[in-house]
Amino acid sequence: MSIIMISDEIPEILDNCNRVLVMAGGRIIKEIEDSSGISEEELFDLVSRKSVLQGAAG
């Protein structure tokens, strides 16, 4: 069974999901198979960095 959860709250995602797909611009930019192995800061940095890059390109 699968559930798709969409959230911009990183702690909520890490608390409730085993597998995380980070999307930007309609594409998957990162797949995290085991979310217990990533910190809130690492996930935030990944999402923030991609957002900054997209803003500069668009």
Q: Is the pTM of this model over 0.75?
A: no
Within a domain: 1: no
The pLDDT, as a whole number, for residue 1 is 81
Q: How many domains does the chain have?
A: 1
The pLDDT, as a whole number, for residue 15 is 92
The pLDDT, as a whole number, for residue 25 is 79
Within a domain: 35: yes
Within a domain: 45: yes
Within a domain: 26: yes
The pLDDT, as a whole number, for residue 54 is 55
Q: Splitting the chain (58 residues) into consecutive groups of 10 residues, what average pLDDT does each group show? A: 87 91 83 88 80 51
Q: Which region holds residue 30: left if phi is over 0, alpha if psi is between -120 and 50, else beta?
A: beta
Which one, of 25, 52, 30, lies nearest residue 43 by Cα? 30
Domain range for 28 is 10-57
Within a domain: 4: no
Within a domain: 25: yes
Within a domain: 2: no
